[in-house]
Amino acid sequence: MSESTREHTHTARAFWSSLEARDWSGVERLLADEVVYEAPQTRERVRGRADYLRFNQEFPGEWHLRVERVVADDAGAATTVEALLDGEAMTAVTFFTFADDGRIATVTEFWPEPYPRPESRAHLSDLF
Amino acid sequence: MSESTREHTHTARAFWSSLEARDWSGVERLLADEVVYEAPQTRERVRGRADYLRFNQEFPGEWHLRVERVVADDAGAATTVEALLDGEAMTAVTFFTFADDGRIATVTEFWPEPYPRPESRAHLSDLF
């Protein structure tokens, strides 16, 4: 594992643990000045460290986060996080890219929701 | 980038290009005998190479796949794929793990769908 891979793994984990701890200065240190957050499902975009901090600080409701999975390489990282939002368990899937100094440059986040298995492929799988 | 990272990146890309080409023997070569596919949103699970090949071969509708993003490390890989399903553009987010011989051991796949930005956080973001 290369040095930058190790650093990206560490930064992605630190991001989530700092958020969970509401350690806002800890979160701030991990973010590039010009960080951009995007949620493709809602088309939300937040530009810049101050606004992205505020997005997290003022995010409505009670929330708790637990990292499930981290994949990282020289260019980026991907995580899945188990989120409890107002008591409802959801999964956040997040892709990070990093600036040359190792800080987070982009955050692209998905919140996939449960839906019924389509009848048309019911013969192809079991349910767990 | 380590040898296994390179191999995992290559295997994830080859998986998608072989599927898009309907190169079923090419897909088969990439899969561990005991590969397990899971879709947490629908709770679909498919066990074993033969059944997972069939899941893809008989997947209903017209579909086309284009890789957008690959992240890989010694343990796994994550991809986002732009999928056209019966003409509708969707994103597949997929996590892979690999057997010791480099073949795909697990596939965990999410299909996040668009939803409206909640009013409660409308003051925190722009829309793109």
- Over residues A6-60, the pLDDT tens digits come to 999 999 999 999 999 999 999 999 999 999 999 999 999 999 999 999 999 999 9
Q: Dump pLDDT digits (tens) for A50-104.
A: 999 999 999 999 999 999 999 999 999 999 999 999 999 999 999 999 999 999 9
Contact at CB, A127 and B44, closer than 8 angstroms:
yes
pLDDT at B123: 95
- In the beta sheet, which residues pair with residue B59? none
As a whole number, mean pLDDT of residues B96-116 equals 97
Q: Are B53 and B41 in contact (CB under 8 A)?
A: no
What H or E segment, with its residue span, contains residue B53?
A: helix B49-57
**For B45, which of A45, A93, A127 is closest by C-beta distance?**
A127
- Spatial CA neighbour of A78 closest among B80, B8, B78, B6: B78
pLDDT at A79: 98
Nearest residue in chain A measured CA to CA from B80: A95
pLDDT at B64: 98
Tell me: pLDDT of B91 over 90. Answer: yes
Give B4's contacts in chain A (Cβ within 8 Å): none
Q: How many CA atoms lie within 13 A of B52 on its CB side?
A: 27
Tell me: pLDDT of B1 over 90. Answer: no
Q: Is B127 on the interface with A (CB under 8 A)?
A: yes
Q: Distance between CA A125 and CA A123 in Å, rounded?
A: 6
Tell me: pLDDT of B38 over 80. Answer: yes
Nearest residue in chain B measured CA to CA from A79: B78
**In this complex, how many residue pairs, one in chain A and one in chain B, have their CB atoms less than 8 Å apart?**
155
Strands A63-72 and A76-85: antiparallel
- In the beta sheet, which residues pair with residue B127? A44
pTM for this prediction: 0.96
According to DSSP, residue A117 is labeled P
Task: Give B113 to chain A, closest Cα distance, Å.
Answer: 6
pLDDT at A118: 94
ipTM of the complex: 0.95
pLDDT at B2: 84
Residue A71, classed as helix, strand or coil, is: strand
Which of A42, A54, A69, A90 to probe the B interface (max B CBs under 10 A)? A42
Tell me: pLDDT of B5 over 90. Answer: yes
**For B112, which of A75, A110, A126 is closest by C-beta distance?**
A110
According to DSSP, residue A48 is labeled S
Contact at CB, A77 and B58, closer than 8 angstroms:
no
Strands (E), chain B: 31-39, 44-47, 63-72, 76-85, 88-98, 104-110, 126-127
